[in-house]
Amino acid sequence: MTLSTRHSHEMILYIAALDAVLEKHKLTANDLLEGDDLATFLSRLHDDINNLKAMLRAIYIAGHATESFTDFVVGYGELWSAQMLASLVRKNGVDCNWMDTRDVIIVNPTGSNQVDPDYLESERRLDQWFLQHPSKTIVATGFIASTPQNIPTTLKRDGSDFSAAIMGSLLRARQVTIWTDVDGVYSADPRKVSEAVVLKTLSYQEAWEMSYFGANVLHPRTIIPVMQYDIPIIIRNIFNLSAPGTIICRPSVNEFDNRQGLGPFVRAFATIDNLALVNVEGTGMAGVPGTASAIFGAVKDVGANVIMISQASSEHSVCFAVPEKEVEAVAKALKSRFREALAAGRLSQVAVIPNCSILATVGQKMASTPGVSATLFNALAKANINVRAIAQGCSEYNITVVVKREDCVRALRAVHSRFYLSRTTVAMGIVGPGLIGGTLLDQLRDQASVLKEKFNIDLRVMGITGSRKMLLSDAGIDLSRWRELRKEKGEVADLDKFIQNVHGNHFIPNTVLVDCTSDSAIASHYYDWLRRGIHVITPNKKANSGPLDQYLRLRALQRQSYTHYFYEATVGAGLPIISTLQGLLETGDKILQIEGIFSGTLSYIFNTFIGARTFSEVVAEAKEKGFTEPDPRDDLSGTDVARKVIILARESGLQLELSDIHIDSLVPESLKDSASGEEFLQQLPLYDREMAKKRQDADDAGEVLRYVGVVDVVKQSGAVTLRRYKKDHPFAQLSGSDNIISFTTERYNQQPLIVRGPGAGAQVTAGGIFCDILRLASYLGAPS
């Protein structure tokens, strides 16, 4: 291709491009406008296009374009858009005019490819403009302005947002709304953190910090014009008008006072990639005036941008981050500047650490809130993230850390989870997927989506283990298939590995282990679990009814830590027995006596032991219906009831051992050593006459037999015994396998407080455990 042909081709290209622009705007105008407004706009459009062709031909002939020429050309799009929108608004009956902001906004160009608005002159020109164009509604161009010499220019990068803020400031607007394509400002980049949330409010300073660290919010200079007049900026999504957006404003003192915990003080996280650390180190730096000035003077000379600086108070080293593309020039400049000091050993090194990223944690008053830094670095440590450098100024707005680039997303997710998910997201481990545990898992499966969608409670089962096989997951087990998955992918049970998997997930800081067994060996681990920060929920009675010293040690740890230990289902299955007792005590009531039918098995037996039926017949029927343990002596011995009595006694403040509880066993002495449960049932009819007589004596007195547990706080004792009650007594009104518990207190003295309902069965027991799980979520901050 010859030179003249190539030039002709280039000319054809810009003419074709202009023609395409013309056609696009004509089509848009024809769709939106009509009548005189359409004719006027199209006339102006053709004139502008012809002028542009003439100007572009001049640029083409000259071979280059000045910056002011370029700014003038690129500003036409704003002019056309503003004219069309103003005409459309008028078409809908609103008094409206359009403003060419080059007539109003005056800026002084600076040396850093930025501009500095002249607010006094702009205000004067705005007043003049309104005198000539009085209107209720103004559509103003964005992005474009003029110099003091009336030469057209632009507001450079993010200029449209900047011009909106400038106009808002000039007009002393009530608010400025920035329309964009996202629902607002997120707590982290949603492309990297799926759990990122839209922030309702941000302070000007918080938004400023986030912008500096690369978050897609606003350019820092956009905030300056509105900030001086306390004008709120609202970030809204033009494609989702139902989203309320994010308000950037000056927070009231009350807002800070009402922020509870650490999360509200940490508002968001931002990252900058493709950085390198430069570390200038040497003993000769300490106490030498001007060293830092020399370092950063050399950096300035090569035009590099310093993102972060970290210097120890000893002055032994200065560490700073720069864009990776600039680090080679920076290092070369520093080595040249300090050649003599390096040769003499006063400086030991100018080291470059490549492949770095910055993670910034932003929040107003964050630095002065105790625990924020500790929580941040604990989250990073738990995620096994190595921090290369740290910077935290006294401005209270950010804590900045430098990490390896490959660790950046993992670090971002870890810290975001610690501050944003800890209140609602819980990693769960289920120990004992038998009848109770399996039913609980099914209840969790059925309710999980509702809890997450309506209450923002995210319960993730990270592991399920039995005595022989366990199933582990890093993201959460699919509870719709947990039985099949356990068969297909289950591995040999290893409690230590199980705990590590459930508790070791650094994205979910809160961990709860749910022990659905009746195993004392599992219960012996509670102290260690709580000490490690793992919450414990259980229906297992062994820990709270075991040796007193171990129980007291466990409860002391629980009270001293921030870890929760819930055990509602240890007494009364799903009935609120423990919580009722705790509520009475916490509100200052004094317990006098607790009396109740605590065993669903024995409740069924004595509710059914009526008329001519024999005791052995009723026990056999209870076993056949699944109400008893495989060996009915486990129920009839009263030991299980005694464990519930000791739990309530200790909860009431009595320091009793299980051996202190008097038990009237229903197992005849001579049958205690029977070889099996079947043999016991075969021999039990020999003792029917004794039980029949007790029933008859009670019946003759207008009473019934009930097997009860009693806590006598006044006498500081407990007992499990067979008692008689009048037929109008609440205990005599029981049916099926229901439990009933009576609290006699100083407040409830004449008329005891009664709790009654199903006290046995997989569904209600699992329901009681589930209630404790939701109670834990509530304590962690989920809506109650």
Cite the active site residues: 644
222 CB neighbour count, 10 Å cutoff: 28
Give the integer Cα–Cα distance in Å for 320 and 296.
Answer: 10
Give the integer Cα–Cα distance in Å for 162 and 168.
Answer: 10
The H or E element that residue 51 is part of is: helix 35-62
- For residue 575, give both structure tokens: 């009935």
- Angle of helix 76-91 relative to helix 35-62, nearest 10 degrees, comes to 180
Residue 692's contacts (CB-CB under 8 Å, 6 or more residues apart) are: 614, 615
- Angle of helix 762-779 relative to helix 435-455, nearest 10 degrees, comes to 40
CB 95 within 8 A of CB 49: no
Residue 358's contacts (CB-CB under 8 Å, 6 or more residues apart) are: 213, 271, 272, 275, 307, 308, 321, 400, 401, 402
- For residue 549, give both structure tokens: 């010293």
- For residue 244, give both structure tokens: 């309320």
- For residue 757, give both structure tokens: 């309902």
Residue type at 326 in one-letter notation: E
| CA atoms in the 13 A half-sphere facing the CB of 87 | 21
Give the integer Cα–Cα distance in Å for 105 and 397.
Answer: 32
CA proximity to 720, closest of 545, 515, 521: 545
As a whole number of angstroms, the longest Cα–Cα distance in the chain is 126
User: How far is CA 697 from its chain centroid?
Assistant: 63
Give the integer Cα–Cα distance in Å for 516 and 612.
Answer: 39
Residue type at 555 in one-letter notation: R
Give the integer Cα–Cα distance in Å for 468 and 433.
Answer: 11
CB 595 within 8 A of CB 622: no
- For residue 340, give both structure tokens: 């003599």
